[in-house]
Amino acid sequence: MDENKYISIDKMQKEVDEKFEKEVREHNAKVDAKRKAIQDAENAEMQKLYKGMAESIKTEQEEQKSRELEEAVSKASKEVEDKYDNNSIIKSEKRTSMDKGYKNLLDGLDLND
């Protein structure tokens, strides 16, 4: 009969251990949630930085491509114009204008003296 009046030490220890384990699990869950939130924020920031860097590189390469293409077209156009201006009866407007200017200049000079 005396046994019912008292709680056994083993039972008390078991309850304390269970409560402690529950508190540890809850604490670990909170720490893990905070750690995950921090990691997710860092990952989002890194993705934003990488995306910005990739866009910057892409824009730079597109601008370089455009410049090189313009230079190549200009060079090729000049080569073709020079070829026909110097070796053909077909002349560009620029060359025709220059030829007229030279002709007028020469006509204005009195070379018969």
**Domain spans, the chain:** 8-108
Residue predicted with more confidence, 33 or 5: 33
Residue predicted with more confidence, 113 or 47: 47
Mean pLDDT across the chain: 87
Q: According to the model, what pLDDT value does residue 98 have? A: 81
For residue 88, pLDDT beyond 70: no
DSSP 4-71: HHS--HHHHHHHHHHHHHHHHHHHHHHHHHHHHHHHHHHHHHHHHHHHHHHHHHHHHHHHHHHHHHHH
For residue 113, pLDDT beyond 60: no
